[in-house]
Amino acid sequence: MKRALISVSDKNGIVEFAKELENLGFEIVSTGGTFAKIKEAGIEALEISEVTKYPEMFDGRVKTLNPLIHGGILHRRNLESDVETAKKHGIIAIDLVCVNLYPFKETIEKTDDFDEIIENIDIGGPAMVRSSAKNFQDVVIITNPNRYDEVIEKLKSDLLDLDYRQNLMIEAFEHTASYDSMIANYMNKRFNSGFGEKQFVVGSKVKDTRYGENPHQKGSLYQFDNFFTENFKTVKGEASFNNITDINGAVKIASAFGNKPAVCIVKHGNPCGFAIKENLLDSYKEALKSDPISAYGGVVAINGTLDKDLAEEINKIFVEVIIAGKITEEAIAVFEKKKRIKLFIQNSKYLKISNDPYDFKHVEGGFVYQNSDKVENDEVQKSKLVSKKSATSQELKDLEIAYKLASLTKSNCVVYVKNSAIIAIGMGMTSRVDAAKCAIKKANDLGLDLNGSVLASEAFFPFRDSIDSASEVGVSAIIQPGGSIRDNEVIDSANEHNISLYLSGIRHFLH
């Protein structure tokens, strides 16, 4: 008779799984709540203490840490000395182990009680998982409830071959590695402000992309806390590696304005159009005016529902990707004949981001790690007016849009906004003056009138020249962090040109 050990915190499907194992002739050994649940369902099982000859101790802290358990898992069936040792000590082989771990994540989400948190750090579970994974050639290790049906079918068909066992082994080590990483990160957050001697970044694979940034690179999408599984649905097409990064940038901007009808157009990671008008259709039309050439083949993020009228307007040019809160069936039909367009939704009323608390970036040989930057909704409202002239209500609305866009766009960056829409943007430049000049040139080339627009910069102006240049094209209000040793010269320039100038006191570099 084969023996299975079952000890799970997530008990979904476990009764059905245990019943199938019993029908296949397995003797079942179990622990605590799992034992009670399967016994209640009428399944024959041995309680763990019947095997170990020791009761659970120290409020359940010790129950499976025993040679009769780990010897049953770890001894090598093809090694005569191991088999003889097992016989000598009355150790019965355990052929299948089904374990998932104490709910540490759920515990830290619901309580700050450190004593309770400590008690929800699993010890015996990871030890059994690691023992089983180490001896995967002889022991089937299941840590994922989604595997139950698959494992049963393979047992029935005698298809538990080495390759499949190897896959289960890898999944098991991933399970314990992510569990220990979560605990270490939590402890560092609690006691070291999140910056310990080791930093663990753990994601779960969502899908492989066709390739990475370029065809010769492999690529995959990974997620934290099921964010993409729950908030990214494919309607048409397949997202590429580059699509995903562009979508991220577009959604961050479009979702930064709450439930307002915002539309953002992104190309190669940078916004080339943005507007907030009375409705999404008008917002899109205005966003497109900023740079219709760059918008070709770009990504459009719609903070709301994409309907038929908006779909028909977008369909007048080629865009590669659209992501919206929702898309109506009539809108999907509009794009039916366009083979290259890709449609995605978050299946929510408005777009959202996960608001990850930390951010990191790869550098050769490692990575840099930091608290995530966040642009608070009241930063413009709290900004200090340092000029004689104050902004009008519409200019303040435009300043908020320009400020958020500048904060979420590659440095060096300046953004010109007028009537709640981008007029011009210069981004990713080595010089802030060049960024301003580039934006102005593009606006002039497209025949866009900058007179009466507002200007935002994500970092301070080191000299007054940027203010002087802004006045030449008719900028009426400016917001920037301030903090330059020449702030007084910048303020003087604003007053000379009758420009409203606000200092936020917060820099938002994005490199």
Distance CA 464, CA 405 (A): 22
| pLDDT for 325 | 98
Given a cut of 90, whether residue 253 has pLDDT beyond it is yes
Predicted confidence band of residue 330 (pLDDT cuts 50, 70, 90): very high
| pLDDT for 130 | 97
Distance CA 182, CA 186 (A): 6
Given a cut of 90, whether residue 153 has pLDDT beyond it is yes
Pairing relationship of beta strands 26-30 and 46-47 according to DSSP bridges? parallel
Predicted confidence band of residue 93 (pLDDT cuts 50, 70, 90): very high
Q: In three state form, how does the secondary structure of 192-218 look?
A: HCCCCCCCCCCCEEEEEECCCCCCCCC
User: If you count DSSP H runs as helices and E runs as strands, how many of each does the chain have, helices first?
Assistant: 20, 21
| pLDDT for 94 | 96
pLDDT per residue as tens digits for the range 276-298: 999 999 999 999 999 999 999 99
| Domain edges within the chain | 2-192, 232-345, 380-503
Q: Are 50 and 111 in contact (CB under 8 A)?
A: no
| 268 catalytic per annotation | yes
| pLDDT for 406 | 94
The catalytic residue among 2, 39, 105, 134 is 134
Contacts of 170 (CB under 8 A, 6+ apart): none
Given a cut of 90, whether residue 181 has pLDDT beyond it is yes
Given a cut of 90, whether residue 432 has pLDDT beyond it is no
Percent of the chain with pLDDT over 90: 88
Tell me the C-alpha to C-alpha distance, in Å, between residue 105 and each of 53, 120, 225, 233, 442.
Answer: 32, 9, 10, 25, 50
CATH superfamily of 380-503: AICAR transformylase, duplication domain (3.40.140.20)
Pairing relationship of beta strands 342-345 and 358-363 according to DSSP bridges? unpaired
Q: Are 322 and 346 in contact (CB under 8 A)?
A: no
pLDDT per residue as tens digits for the range 404-418: 999 999 999 999 999
| 384 catalytic per annotation | no
Distance CA 385, CA 393 (A): 14
| pLDDT for 292 | 94
CATH topology classification for 2-192? Rossmann fold (3.40.50)
Q: Across residues 87-95, what is the average pLDDT?
A: 94
Predicted confidence band of residue 194 (pLDDT cuts 50, 70, 90): very high
Considering only the C-alpha atoms of the chain, give the largest distance between any 2 of them, rounded to a whole number of Å. 96
* CATH code of the region 232-345: 3.40.140.20
| pLDDT for 210 | 94
Please give the mean pLDDT across all residues of the chain: 94
The pair phi, psi for residue 205, each rounded to 5°, is -65, 130
User: Per the structure block, which two tokens stand in for 224?
Assistant: 């934290």
Domains 232-345 and 380-503 share a fold: yes
Q: Across residues 18-45, what is the average pLDDT?
A: 94
pLDDT per residue as tens digits for the range 438-474: 899 999 999 999 999 999 999 998 888 888 888 999 9
Length of the chain: 511
| pTM beyond 0.85 | yes
| pLDDT for 437 | 86
The catalytic residue among 19, 189, 233, 268 is 268
Q: Across residues 76-93, what is the average pLDDT?
A: 94
Taking the mean position of all CA atoms in its chain, how far away is CA 398?
29
Predicted confidence band of residue 126 (pLDDT cuts 50, 70, 90): very high
| Burial profile 212-231: b = 16 or more Cβ within 10 angstroms, e = fewer | eeeeeeebebebeeebbeeb
Question: Which residue is listed with tokens 């606006």?
Answer: 443
| pLDDT for 123 | 92
Distance CA 384, CA 404 (A): 17
What type of residue is 157? S
Q: Across residues 36-63, what is the average pLDDT?
A: 89
